[in-house]
Amino acid sequence: MEIFIRPTYDEMSRVAAQEVASILNTKPNAVFGMATGSTPLGVYRELVRMHQEGKLDFSQVTTFNLDEYVGLPVTHPQSYHQFMFEHFFQHVNIPKQNIYIPSGTTSNYLAFCQWYEDRIQECGGIDLQILGIGSDGHIAFNEPGSSLSSRTRLKTLARQTIDDNARFFDRRDDVPVYAITMGIGTILDARKILLLANGRQKATAIARAIEGPMTSMITASGLQMHPTVKVFLDDEAASELMMRDYYDWLEEKRPGAPS
């Protein structure tokens, strides 16, 4: 894993967005794995800005979102369909038919999950997967205990996740209990992975994911198995890392490394 730590959320978001932009600039028809939640908002804002300035063209891009709540219609203000439209898709030029988000209202979840996996393959696989992390160490809705080789499936949310996400709903009881989510195995198939975290409330999860033993209790730790993960953090999210000095040293020395 390569770890990039910046003093603020805005700086962290800017360098992470540069990473997405450089992939798009070398591969105009890239396939991106998209994440929801408050963490990637800064990256999306940056990408939208670059697009509006004419520096980024999404016209050949395909996207697959990580997850969706079960039971929320696509028009529900808290559905991830709505979130992605509001914060990203309505502002860039990705063709509608190239946007894939798991269905939270299908009548056959098993068949839908298989179709979603197949569709990712048929589109050539994901070039870059963007991820946030939950305070319980989850990525997508792969809650503690999820198999590190899991695939897209229906998942019951942990109480912690429901508590964390209750801030977006009128009442805690309104938070859906089930979600459809890519698995850890699905995520690990992406060619590159970009993990984002900011804020003190993510520091423990980040330390355990990056420096702890690999365990299904912290599903983000499964990323240790992937050869090309870049992690973008602000100072607060990095505050429990034991090897912080080393990560800063690596970043400083990387440009001078022999090729």
| Residues β-bridged to residue 142 | 139
Instruction: Single out the segment in contact with ligand PGA by CB under 6 A; choices: 49-57, 73-81, 130-138, 177-185.
Output: 130-138
Asked if 38 touches ligand PGA (CB under 6 A), the answer is yes
Catalytic residue list contains 19 = no
The helix/strand/coil state of 36 is coil
State the distance between the two ends of the chain, measured CA to CA, in whole angstroms.
Answer: 18
Catalytic residue among 138, 164, 234, 236: 138
Catalytic residue among 67, 68, 189, 234: 67
Asked if 134 touches ligand PGA (CB under 6 A), the answer is yes
Catalytic residue among 46, 68, 117, 136: 136
The CA-atom distances, in angstroms, between 57 and each of 18, 30, 157, 190 are 14, 11, 36, 22
Number of residues that bind ligand PGA (CB under 6 A): 6
Give the shortest CB-163-to-ligand PGA separation in angstroms: 11
Asked if 39 touches ligand PGA (CB under 6 A), the answer is yes
Instruction: Single out the segment in contact with ligand PGA by CB under 6 A; choices: 18-26, 37-45, 117-125, 237-245.
Output: 37-45
Give the shortest CB-39-to-ligand PGA separation in angstroms: 3
Q: Which is nearer to ligand PGA, 13 or 62 (CB)?
A: 13
Asked if 133 touches ligand PGA (CB under 6 A), the answer is yes
Q: Which is nearer to ligand PGA, 104 or 132 (CB)?
A: 132
Q: Which is nearer to ligand PGA, 154 or 250 (CB)?
A: 154
Catalytic residue list contains 236 = no
Q: Which of 199, 204, 208, 185 is nearest to 232 (CA)?
A: 199
Q: Which is nearer to ligand PGA, 26 or 175 (CB)?
A: 175
Q: Which is nearer to ligand PGA, 22 or 38 (CB)?
A: 38
> C-alpha 254: how far from its chain's center?
25
Asked if 34 touches ligand PGA (CB under 6 A), the answer is no
Catalytic residue list contains 174 = no
159 by Cβ neighbours in 10 Å (0-12 / 13-18 / 19+) ranks as exposed
The correct pick among 42, 132, 176, 183 for binding ligand PGA (CB under 6 A) is 132
- Are residues 68 and 79 in contact, defined by beta-carbon separation less than 8 angstroms? yes
Asked if 62 touches ligand PGA (CB under 6 A), the answer is no
Q: How far apart are the C-alpha atoms of 70 and 171, rounded to whole Å?
A: 17
Residue whose tokens read 């798991």 = 102
- Are residues 188 and 142 in contact, defined by beta-carbon separation less than 8 angstroms? no
Dump strand ranges (E) for the chain: 2-6, 31-34, 62-65, 67-69, 99-100, 128-131, 153-156, 178-181, 192-197, 229-234
Cβ neighbour number for residue 232 with a 10 Å cutoff: 28
Q: Which is nearer to ligand PGA, 38 or 228 (CB)?
A: 38
Instruction: Using CB under 6 A, list all residues that contact ligand PGA.
Output: 37-39, 132-134
Query: Catalytic positions, please?
Result: 67, 136, 138, 143
